[in-house]
Amino acid sequence: MHYLTAVEMLELLRTRQVSAVELLDAHLRRIEEANPTVNAIVTLVAERALDEAKAADRDLARGIWRGPLHGLPVAHKDLTDTAGIRTTYGSRLFADHVPERDALIVRRMREAGAITIGKTNTPEFGTGSHTVNEVFGATRNPYDLSCSAGGSSGGAAAALACGMVPLADGSDMGGSLRNPASFCNVVGLRPTPGRVPSPTPTAAWFTLGVSGPMARTVEDLTLLMSVVAGFDATSPLSIAESGAVFTEPLDLLDLTGLRIAWSPDLGGLPVDAETAKATADAPAVLAGLGAHVERVDLDLSDAEDAFRTYRAWYYLLSFGDLPQEELGENVRWNVERGRAVTGADLARAERLRSGLYQRMSAFFDAYDFLLAPVSQVPPFPVDAPYVSEINGEALPDYLAWMRSAYWISVLHAPAASVPCGFTWNGLPVGVQIVGRPFADLRVLRLAHAFERATGHGSRRPAL
């Protein structure tokens, strides 16, 4: 039962073929079976979830359907506040922290009837695309336990891949929804900033970091988007459009004549040979569905300086007041770079990003979508702190291997990670579908068509 889609589970619940308690029990058994080796769920609230499942069944017996996620067990990223449930942010400074309030995305999922089953692992404050921290250790890739699950939503991706939950939330600044989805053969959407409001008292106008959904299928991903998207006045960037738009059918996109730009290296980035091979068939898949696919040479290099400058400024703003000696190396490194950022640096970053946005606006007048690898590498050894070289080219720091994801983050555009194939030794590889800003539903529709045409996402880990 744990590998059914969320949509299938909901139909069984609605027709009373399965109870919420039975569904929860199936997932708890799967967690007991797989989590000791994968380490995806780091805080489990089984008794609380059981009470909520019993309440969901009582409502069903009275003909009450709470909402689109009624009775579904879900997990929340350990960066996301959950009232009464330990939330550590992957930091030993907050190892025993229990928030008093739910984050907005959690509240929306719970109001839609979802049952919180626990929290998923993340690196410290979501720093980096490898899920490991000093509180809980590393999350391992279900397709090969010796490899990374990606990050920073690596716990969510691994839990989904193993059937521990059908839906999970994540977040993405430099690829934290997309990279782990690619590494674990699931799907994730980096929405247009403001599509899923993320209220914050410290960085309300910061657009590089977004919250978003993760699932095993695009249909399930869209279901979760219908719940978590929508205007909220506490977020100044919130898009004034209801999440109900994501209840519209996914098969309405006519691919005939659709103009798709294919960039296998996003303008000269090094790409591992196995990743290049796995993603090389993606253009032919979409061409076979009627689209016109053209290889393009992009220049997104201005995104490098813009991303790093804004990111450094954000880390100083968010974590500069914490005791630095208690923070991990990567967080300290980012804070130190934040202290070096000047007003001139921010002005240059703003100018670079504004120019890039205008050039990409013209690009999306010529093309409907951009297609590219999610990550430049397949899953790497879990004991490695990060990828230090690609194709023999040494990388300067722990961020550099994530450029294919974080350059896209700068574009203010929705991007979906969809399974695209496997390496020779069975490691998953994803492709990202990028659309014009605010065209989130169109991106999901193309991702759905690609998913159905390939079937790569139906391959489960042997674990």
**Distance from chain centroid for Cα 254:** 26
Name the catalytic one among 19, 129, 148, 152.
152
Of 129, 122, 117, 152, whose CA–CA distance to 39 is shortest?
122
What lies within 8 Å, CB to CB, of 75 at 6+ separation is 41, 116, 117, 118, 119, 120, 155, 156, 159, 164, 165, 168
Indicate if 152 belongs to the active site. yes
- Distance in angstroms (rounded) separating the CA atoms of residues 58 and 19: 10
- Distance in angstroms (rounded) separating the CA atoms of residues 351 and 357: 10
DSSP 152-178: SSHHHHHHHHHTS-SEEEEEESSSTTH
Strand partners, 433: 371, 416
Name the catalytic one among 129, 176, 226, 417.
176
Name the catalytic one among 19, 77, 171, 417.
77
Indicate if 211 belongs to the active site. no
What is the Cα gyration radius of the chain?
A: 21
Of 243, 239, 199, 250, whose CA–CA distance to 225 is shortest?
243
What lies within 8 Å, CB to CB, of 235 at 6+ separation is 104, 194, 197, 198, 199, 204
Kind and range of the H or E element at 348?
A: helix 343-366
- Distance in angstroms (rounded) separating the CA atoms of residues 174 and 163: 26
Ramachandran angles phi, psi of 440, nearest 5°: -60, -45
- Distance in angstroms (rounded) separating the CA atoms of residues 383 and 409: 27
Tell me the torsion sign for CA atoms 200, 116, 70, 1. Answer: positive
Cα–Cα distances in Å, from 438 out to 101, 120, 250, 259, 306? Answer: 29, 28, 16, 18, 21
Give yes or no for a contact between 264 and 271, defined as CB atoms under 8 angstroms apart.
yes
Indicate if 242 belongs to the active site. no
Of 144, 87, 161, 130, whose CA–CA distance to 329 is shortest?
130
Which residues are catalytically annotated? 77, 152, 176
